[in-house]
Amino acid sequence: MDAAQLTPMTELSTKLHQANTELDSLQEFVSAACAVIKSKCLSNNKFDAKLLDNWQLASYDLAFCAADISAAKSFVDYALKLPDAALTQKMSLGFCAETLQAVLQRLIARATDLDRDREHFLDFYSREATQELLNTYLDSAYYSTTGQEIVHQNVQRLPSILDEDKELVRETFYRFANEVVSPLAEKIHREDQDIPDSILKPAAELGCFGTCIPERFGGLQPDDHADSLSMIVVTEELSRGSLGAAGSLITRPEIAARSLLSGGTEAQQERWLPKLAAGEMLCAISITEPNTGSDVAAVSLKATAVDGGWLLNGSKTWCTFAGKSELIVVLARSNPDMSLGYKGLSLFMLEKPAYSGHKFTHQQDQGGSLSGNAIATIGYRGMHSYDLFFEDYFVPAENLVGEKDGEGKGFYYTMAGFSGGRLQTAARATGVMQAAFEKALSYSQERRVFGKAVADYQLTQVKLTRMLATLTASRQFSYSVAQLMDKGEGQMEASLVKLFSCRAAEWISREAMQIHGGMGYAEESAVSRLFVDARVLSIFEGAEETLALKVIARDLISKA
């Protein structure tokens, strides 16, 4: 490569470092804004989280500001590792410009709540580096030339920085999604079928269910260190094939495994983890109740101690895959004193037969029963989410996670699983985005309107550029969080990446449908399925509002 070719790429790398500096400065604005909100939430000179409810709108916006900035910085870090990839670096700069604009707009809108004049934030626009970013990468010429390059080179994804082993894993599940999942996805969705064994059995043979379970229990996770990245790569490719029929297969065993590894006895780990890893036992997670939603600490399903075990009475809702699962992880209130909050909760491993269809009843010999009715949903079909009803349902004492020592610790064991579940949900969102982008790119190249391909119009090129940039930011953000979690960190970042990626999946699937025009609204088009599937992502595994207000904003503001 001659000097003339090398110079533009060197300049792009320099600009990326400048963009990163601007993002850091913007993060300081956000941190200062958090400090202002904190000052309004003091009681006896101490932060009082209850007072934060008076500033929900500002807190919500600040959470999204933090998520957007983190995503942009992950994109920059990734692009700097590819100095010869000019398209990647340009798209990273474009995404940074979009992020600066979006975050500043949020801050300006909340200026009064933040005790600032709008000029305080508007001054940021006068910074030389900010002006260069916005003038160059929010310009129509940037979008057009970049979009044309994407179309002409048929760029479906930006370069991988995965190592050889991870790339092999990705390629394996890429083929599995194409050859096994995708051909069945539409029928499963339209007819609201169960996930067939023709997907479940080969998925188990590939080790799909053991990605987060240590090798000593038959899983793929190394015994001597964590490897969240493999789980992310597998989840993303499965979700690209179908969110409902494959993308969520790992989520439930992942949450169950983390809970068992966090609090289960050695005997409990030996009993269930090998079966989960092999796919011999499918599992579901039952946390949510009709009156609690994302408020896990308010769980009220009663667990009453009896001779030899516990009786469960009450109801749960949104228990995905409850029918075909032979193991359900249930969070219940083992201490009736509601004033104890989350300290009165315990986690139980409930075994039952597998049932097909949309309704089941399991009658125990002891007289107890568990019944389930599938909830009709607009998308995310295949796994089915159930309302569950427990009536004197007996669970043996040895099925209490941690046994006697685990009583009252169910909330903590559940949270150990949820952080991984949030990261994995971000990967599911990226998989849906990838599928939507591929469909949109292909259709825009084939469909002709007013004498030329849809892809030849500037507005389509703008859409494709933004879509590819956003899904790349999501992917790289999830990779960086996976590395943090493997070090025992990244709990907050797992919430941030879920917040960002799930909202992004809704937007990208919407844009993909729009590029398809009328065909995008037809059920025969895959993008209509992707659109309704994407909508659930911001709701489950921690609703967007709960994550933004009760997790992210509370943490950022309390530490400001």
| CA distance linking residue 281 with residue 505, whole number of Å | 31
Active site residue 541: yes
Return the minimum-mean-pLDDT range out of 236-250, 289-303, 367-381, 453-467.
Answer: 289-303
The pair of three-digit structure tokens given for residue 56, joined into one six-digit string: 């929900």
Indicate whether 467 pLDDT > 70: yes
Contact by Cβ (8 Å): 465, 437: no
Return the minimum-mean-pLDDT range out of 249-253, 280-284, 543-547, 551-555.
Answer: 249-253
Q: Mean pLDDT throughout 458-484?
A: 97
| CA distance linking residue 315 with residue 168, whole number of Å | 43
The larger pLDDT score, comparing residue 267 to residue 227, is at 267
Q: Which of these is catalytic: 446, 541, 544, 545? A: 541
Q: Where are the alpha helices (DSSP H) in 138-227?
A: 140-152, 164-176, 182-191, 197-205
Which one-letter amino acid corresponds to residue 199? I
User: How sure is the predictor about 7, in pLDDT bands with cuts at 50, 70 and 90?
Assistant: very low
Q: Mean pLDDT throughout 288-314?
A: 84
Indicate whether 292 pLDDT > 80: no
| CA distance linking residue 335 with residue 317, whole number of Å | 21
Mean pLDDT over the full length of the chain: 92
Q: Mean pLDDT throughout 162-166?
A: 93
The predicted structure's pLDDT at residue 296: 65
Indicate whether 8 pLDDT > 60: no
Map residue 329 onto helix, strand or coil: strand
Q: Where are the alpha helices (DSSP H) in 224-338?
A: 228-241, 251-263, 266-278
For residue 8, the surrounding DSSP H or E stretch is helix 3-39
Q: What angle do CA 419, 424, 429 make, to 5 degrees?
A: 130
Which one-letter amino acid corresponds to residue 538? S
User: How sure is the predictor about 221, in pLDDT bands with cuts at 50, 70 and 90?
Assistant: confident
Q: Mean pLDDT throughout 412-436?
A: 89
CATH numbers and ranges of domains, the chain: 3-138 (1.20.140.10), 283-405 (2.40.110.10)
Task: Find the Cα–Cα–Cα–Cα dihedral 429, 425, 469, 153, rounded to 10°.
Answer: -60
Most confident of 63-77, 109-123, 243-257, 331-345: 63-77
The predicted structure's pLDDT at residue 3: 38
Indicate whether 103 pLDDT > 70: yes
| CA distance linking residue 225 with residue 210, whole number of Å | 15
Indicate whether 6 pLDDT > 70: no
Contact by Cβ (8 Å): 421, 267: no
| CA distance linking residue 479 with residue 227, whole number of Å | 11
Q: Mean pLDDT throughout 3-26?
A: 80
The pair of three-digit structure tokens given for residue 409, joined into one six-digit string: 């610790």
Buried b (16+ CB within 10 A) or exposed e, 282-321: bbbbbbbbeebebebeebbbebeeeeebbbbebebbbbbb
Each residue's pLDDT tens digit, 51-93: 999 999 999 999 999 999 999 999 999 999 999 999 999 999 9
Distances (CA, A) of 402 to 8, 172, 268: 59, 37, 8
Q: Mean pLDDT throughout 46-52?
A: 93
